[in-house]
Structure 1
Amino acid sequence: MHYILDEQDALEVVNQVMEEPQLNEGQNPNNAQHKHDMDAYNSWKKKDSTARGILISSMNDDIAYQYEQFETTNAIWVALKEKFGGTTVSKLRQLTIKFDTYKKVPNKPMKQHLREMSNMITELKKAGYEMTDEQQVQAVIRSLPDS
């Protein structure tokens, strides 16, 4: 999605919101600063419209319906990120519980077991949960069968 928005020169609106410039009381609408502000706003608005169209049109209808109500690309992006991106507290909790309770299956080779644990450690790191080497070693030992 970043690539498509960048190609359409609309990527910047993902993280940017602008409000239409208002004239102060007694301010001349032909004022150079106001014209400059309006030009910047109109440029942003055009890019935002393009980006919103790209995002909405790339979604399935049932999902698009939920996001059409948002007025800016930024609002859509934030909502999508909350729903589909990043790691929520509950997801982080699930990952840590899975890692902490993971046990080696007797018929599974040790190499595969360690690879799976390594993958879980990587997932936890991506979620912002860092473990020391000692914690990782303890978790591997804890995951091994008693005998």
Structure 2
Amino acid sequence: MTQRTRTRETEDDLSDILGDSESGEQAGQGESFRSRTKRKAVNFFSPRYFLLATVALTISMFVGGFIPFVETIGGLVGLFAAAFVLGGLTSESRTLETATGGLVAAGLTLLLGNLTLLAAGGTTVAAVGLGAGFLIAGLGAHFGNDLRDGLTRDL
């Protein structure tokens, strides 16, 4: 008797995870398992937003890198500013996509700007640069999202 109850609880847990309210009954009526999985995956990580964030953050890092006397820091400031704006403009929290886009932007900037350094074995410098890009873009998106949320919330 307890085995049957455990099986039913496991089925209920599985149906909650998959999004079925009536476990097997809804699968025939509504959307298929594949389309539900695809929709949930896109809600978790949006490839379109990732591509937009990557392009915007790469451009901002290149532009920030042209500031005289502070090329590297200027690129990171540009990266943070663009991530902050992206976080403030989007209605949903897309911190993961923005942070990953920052990682790619930092990688492209590092690759194109310091090709001789990387060829000479600067993997530690590359790892620190990629980590900094991920962290700074993620923080910028989070702070921008937090500001937008604070400004639009009712008191």
TM-score, length-normalised on structure 1? 0.31
User: Which of structures 1 and 2 has the bigger CA Rg?
Assistant: 1
Greater relative contact order structure (CA < 8 Å, 6+ sep): 2
More helix by share: 2
TM-score, length-normalised on structure 2? 0.30
